[in-house]
Structure formats: structure tokens, C-alpha cells
Structure 1
Amino acid sequence: MAPRLSLEPPLLNAACPWASDLSFLRPLYASPSTGAITTRTSLVDGYPHDDAKNTFLFYDPSNSSSSTGVAPQSFPSQQPLGNSGSLNCFGLSPHVLATYLDWVRTLAAEFPNSSKPIIVSVTGETPESNADAVRRVIALASEVHTPLAVEINLSCPNVPGHPPPAYDASELAAYLGALPANPPIPVGLKTPPYTSPSQFTMLVNAVAAAQPKISFLTGTNTLGNCVVLDSAGAAILPSDGGFGGLAGPAIHPLSLGNVVTLRKLLNEAGLADTVDIIGVGGVSDAMGYKRMRAAGAKAVAVATALGKQGVAVFDTILKPTAKL
């Protein structure tokens, strides 16, 4: 059985723009309301980020003409209330994996008494380069006292020419097949939003066949191929066609449905005590957190609300005031 994540409280950030560098990661790690943190997804050789094309916006889901394009800022965020939805065309981190591993070393040195896990989010252009990234994180785990895990992002919808491998059975099998056979740290997959029974079955079958490599799933990433138009009918994002990945409140019901379905199918496949789920998608308060937990998530991750509210959002979520 692969090692499993252990985090308390069961709340963390998702791999997102607000985990891009040490200025974001340090306050996330210092927060008493996070039980773990996740880095932004990186490649061994980095991603060709372009500030003119790779960006995002906050918008009002009920009135898309009300929107605000914002570059990620260091915490604390001081974004105005409203415009709680988000759409992004970021792609992956411009920082190479080695830089994130150095930042992990820095956090381990700055917090010598902490046992809070750090989840390093990685991916690769090929199954082999992805496996190389995983091996590098495993190697670091033997150097630092800080518990490490690795999340393999096979679900980003914003990488040109590279559709999410987790939508394709043969690609998914190839990525899983290339992974180390018995990883000494927890290894998980970040999955895209699934919308049909065959997609869920494909994923669970692939995870079951790959055991004991995978110990958690993070569901879901953003929903691709979405557009927000301004009052004149023009796309707001600067990507080709204005397309980006949808996040925030609009994706919350879909993400809940993914968690419910995956938990059911994993249990039926005999993986109830083997594979955990981190639920992510549209959680911004205690009620959203409680819904994710009720759906079957062992832990809950936050992205859009983190960008809007800063690290204080985790304190707000854990306030024992909301009832499901």
C-alpha cells in the first residue's frame, strides 16, 4: 500500500497562481489553518509563460460584464468583494521544478519543528519526463524532515497542443505505468472535471491497475473551453478565442459531483482504505468546506477564494459557525 497523506486540519491550497513562489508559499505554510500546502504545478524545464497571454480574471458569475483582470499579488490580498468567479489561461508555472525544490528546502529550514506536509505539484510533457519529476521529489524527501508528497497534474486545460492526459485512457495508462513502482511518499493525481460515467470508470480502472502507486486524487481542476464576454460581446481573456479554465462558484456543483462519484467507484473497486480524495472547486466558506467533506473528500483545497481573500480565507472556513 502506498503511503497516505496525513494532514490536520484537512484544509489546504490547491495548485494555483497563488502558490507560484516563496512569497505565496511561506504565509500558506505558516498559517495554523492549513494542514498542508501545495505548490503551483511545475515542469522539470519550466513553462514558457507569457505575461501578455497567460493571465486570469475575476468576474461576477451572474453578470459577466462585471469583471476585473488582476495579476497575482503577494499576500495579503485586498481584492474587492464580489466578482467571485474566476477564469484563467495560465498554463503551468514559469519556474522550473528545481526552484520549487529549493523553496521546499527553505521552508524546511525556516520551520524546523513543523510536520506539515508540502505537496509538490508536477507534470511532464511525456510519461518519462513526468516520472523524472516524481523521482526528483522523492529524492528530496530523504533530505528534509518536512513530510513531502507529490501531485501529478494531468488535467490542465490551458497548455497549447497538450490536451489533459487524464481524459485519454491510453495516455493515462502510459503516465501511470512510468511511475516508480513503490513510491516512499504519497503520490496523487490531479484530475479534470469529468462529466460522463465512462470517464469516471476509466480513471478508477487505471488507478486500480496502477496500485500501489497512487494514494490520493485531487478533483477537480478547472473546466476548460470557457469564455467570459464583456458588455460589448468581446472575449476578455487574451488567449486565442478568449478561452480559459473555469473556477470558483460556477464549478462547485460539478466538483461535488466528481467527488461523490469517485468516492463511490473507488470504494466499489476495493480502494476505500487505499485512495483518498482532496476535493477542490468553488469552496470559499465553511458551508462549501462542509459540503466537500460530506461528498467524500478527506481534505478540501481552495484556489479562487484564496486569490480573493488571501490566507485569511482558511481561518474563515474553519470557523465553527456553519451547519450543513
Structure 2
Amino acid sequence: MPPRLALDPPLLNAACPWATDLSYLRALYASPSTGGITTRTSLVDGYPHDDAVNTFVFFDPANGASPTSVFPRAFPADADANAASLNSFGLSPIKLATYLEFARTLADEARAAGRKPKPIVISVTGSTPEDTGAAIRAVLAAAPRINAPLAIEVNLSCPNVPGHPPPAYDARGLADYLAAFPADPAVPVGLKTPPYTHADQFSMLVAAVAANQDKVSFLTSTNTLGNCLVLRGTEPALPELGFGGMAGPGIHPLSLGNVATLRRLLDAAGLSHIDLVGVGGVSDAAGYARMRAAGARFVGVATALGRHGPAVFDTILAPRARL
């Protein structure tokens, strides 16, 4: 059985655009309010990113309007405090090997500054089960050379990769991917799941995890909700047809429901040792408290990070949020 994820405080960023390169990751790693960080999801050979297609906007979730410019360059973004996000990103254009070098750099810098290196979650995936297994093995092989605790998040839920529907929505696809995972890995390994909306999807996932307890130690729930559309007037705010994955306040109730349902089903199946990282719409202390109350042992943040920068973690960890 893989080791369990350990984060103190139990707060980190989710895999997202604001974890793409070392400049983002360095600020996240230095924050006293993150117990660890997550890299943007990478492939062994990188993703063919295209700025003209793979981008995002912030928008008002109350009416689906008032979108920002496409891919606002400012960080933090000039967006309303309660803005949601819509993205048409695929995966990171940066290769997995480079993220592993980023991890080594961050760990070495922390030690040089007299800080204890905190966990780094390397988010990976592949276009096939075999590619994904190779990515996991690459992280495991690199782990002894990196002076920080590593974990692996396997993203089986990205809704924006053309011709490649999220495997975590399909029982056969999920089984094929899990079959490629190594048993009893030396670091925590988790699955990033899409938003589920009916009972059979939850049951399918829990059954798959139960059959692979020697491979999986946590679930990250949830990724963005795909096939969403934001209009600027009568035209799509995103390029081409305008469809993308929604995150932020609009998905928060669905994410809470996913976390609560998974916690209940995992416990009932004797899988209480499988931890949950709750992600979706958390931007303040109250949202953090709700996600923890729903059953998340750890809480991840993405859209609010893009709106407010790393200072959002300080806001979230106000005294009333600590459970």
C-alpha cells in the first residue's frame, strides 16, 4: 500500500495555469500557508500548447457575463473577487523531466534558506495507459534524487484534450489506466477525478479504487466541469466554439457534493485510509471550512489563486478556518 499524503497545513494549490513554471511554483512553495504544492499536469513529452486556442477567462458566475480579456496576463488578475473561471487549456507544454528539475531546485533552495522542504505533488497523465505508467515510473525514479517529499497525482479528468475523453468517466478506461500503475509505490499516488453527477459514477470509482488499494492513496476531487460556455455579448468568450472547463464559485456546490459522497462511500467500503483532496471554488476561510466538513482531509485552490495570487492562502487560513 502506498504511503499517505502528509501536508501541514492541509492546504495547497491545485494543478492549474498558475503552477506552470518555476516563477509560479517558487512563490507557492515559499508561502507559509501552503503545506505543499502541486505542479501543472504534465506529459513525459509535453503538450502541444497553442496560445490561440488554449486559454482562459474569468467571468461573473451569477450571470455568465462580464468576462475578462482572454488569458489576462496580470497576476493576480484584474477580476471580480467572486469571479469564476473558464479554460480551454489542455495540459502543460513543459515536459515532465523539467518539472522534476523544478522540484529539485525548490527543495535545494528551501534547504539553503534554512526551511524544511515541504511536499511537492507532481501532476502527470498520458495519452495511453502505458504513457501514464511511464510518467509515474519517471517520478518514482527521480524521487531519491530530490530532497523533498514527493507525491504523484494522476490526472484522469481533463475535459479539454481533443479526442481524449476523461478516462475517469469510463469504467473500462479507468481499469486500463489503473492496470498500468505500479503496485506499492514508494510515494503517495492519487487520482484526480472529474465532477460526477450520478450514483453509478461514484460507485464505479470506489470499486476501481478498492481493486487497486496497493496503488492509490488519495483522490483529488474535482477537476473542472467540461462543456461550459461563456458569451461576450453573443460571441464565445473563448476561442473557436468557446467551450471549456468551469472552475471557481460556480462549481463549489458540486465539488462539495462529490467530496461528501466519496467520503461516505469510501468509508462504507472499508477504504477510510484513502484521503480526499477537495478542490472547487474555495477562496476564503468559510469555503475551506465547508470543504473540510464535507470530508476533505486536504483542500486545493486554483481559480482563487489566479484572482488573488499566493496571498489567498493566508486569507484562507484565518483562525476560524482551522478544523
Alpha-carbon distance in structure 1 between the residues aligned to 2:144 and 2:31? 25
Q: How many correspondences in the alignment?
A: 320
Deviation per CA, 1:85-111, whole angstroms, max 9, x where unpaired? 110001100001011011111111101
Cα deviation digits, residues 2-60 of structure 1 (max 9, x gap): 20011100000000000000000001000000001000000001101000000000001
Shift of 1:72: 6.0
Q: State the distance in 1 between where 2:125 and 2:82 align.
A: 30
How do residues 119-134 of structure 1 correspond to structure 2 at under 5 angstroms?
119-134=121-136
Residue identity matched to 2:295:
G
Residue 3 of structure 1 is matched in structure 2 by 3
Compute the RMSD of aligned alpha carbons: 1.5
* Native 8 Å contact 2:152 2:187 kept in 1: yes
What do residues 150-176 of structure 1 show as CA deviations (whole Å, max 9, x unaligned)? 000000000000000000101100110
CA shift for structure 1 position 320: 1.6
Tell me which of 136, 159, 164 is aligned to 2:166.
164
Assess, with a 3 A threshold, how the Cα gap between structure 1 residues 47 and 186 changes in structure 2: closer, same or farther. Answer: same
3-state SS in 2 of match to 1:149: strand
Shift of 1:252: 0.2
In structure 2, how many angstroms separate the alpha carbons of the residues matched to 1:321 and 1:96? 40
Query: What's the TM-score once normalised by structure 2's chain length?
Result: 0.96
- SS at structure 1 position matched to 2:48: coil
Deviation, 1:81, is 3.0
- Distance, in Å, in 1 between the alignment partners of 2:321 and 2:227 is 34
Contact 2:60 2:80 in 1 (8 A): no
Task: Return the offset for 1:301.
Answer: 0.3
SS, match of residue 283 in structure 1: coil
* Alpha-carbon spacing, 1:323–1:108, altered in 2? closer, same or farther (3 Å): closer
SS of equivalent residue, structure 2 residue 67: strand
Identify the residue that residue 187 of structure 1 maps to in structure 2: 189
**Where does residue 249 of structure 1 map in the other structure?**
249
Partners in 2 of 1:288 and 1:78 — Cα distance?
A: 20
Counterpart CA distance in 1 for 2:52 and 2:276 is 35
1:137 maps onto 2:139 in alignment: yes
Which letter maps to 1:10? P
Alpha-carbon contact 1:101-1:137 (below 8 Å) kept: yes
Structure 2 residue matching 1:64: 3-state secondary structure: coil
Q: Equivalents in 1 of 2:77, 2:68: separation in Å?
A: 13
Distance 1:149 1:54 in 2: 27
Tell me which amino acid in the other structure corresponds to 1:293. Answer: R
The answer to whether the 8 Å contact 1:58/1:83 transfers is no
Q: Is the 1:285–1:313 contact (alpha carbons within 8 Å) kept by the matching residues of 2?
A: yes
Residue 73 to residue 186, structure 1, CA distance change in 2 (3 Å) = farther
Could you tell me how far 1:141 is from its partner in structure 2?
1.1
Counterparts of 1:52 and 1:200 in 2: how far apart (Å)?
36
Shift of 1:321: 4.2
Deviates more, 1:65-74 or 1:294-303: 65-74
CA offset at residue 73 of structure 1?
Answer: 4.5
Aligned equivalents of 1:189, 1:178: Cα separation in 2: 13
Structure 2's unaligned 5+ residue stretches are none
Give the Cα–Cα distance (whole angstroms) in 1 for the partners of residues 104 and 73 of structure 2: 23
How far has the Cα of 1:70 moved from its partner?
A: 4.5
Q: Which amino acid aligns with 1:288?
A: G
What residue in structure 1 maps to residue 175 of structure 2?
Answer: 173
SS of residue paired to 2:145: coil
Asked whether the equivalents of residues 134 and 179 of structure 1 are also in contact (C-alpha less than 8 Å), the reply is yes
Contact 1:66 1:83 in 2 (8 A): no
Q: Structure 1 residues 323, 15: CA separation in 2 closer, same or farther (over 3 Å shift)? A: closer
| CA 1:250–1:9: 2 relative to 1, 3 Å | same
Q: 1:151 maps to which residue?
A: 153
Q: Is the 8 A contact 2:108 2:147 kept in 1?
A: no
What does residue range 56-71 of structure 1 map to in structure 2 within 5 Å? 56-71=56-71
**How big is the shift at 1:78?**
4.9
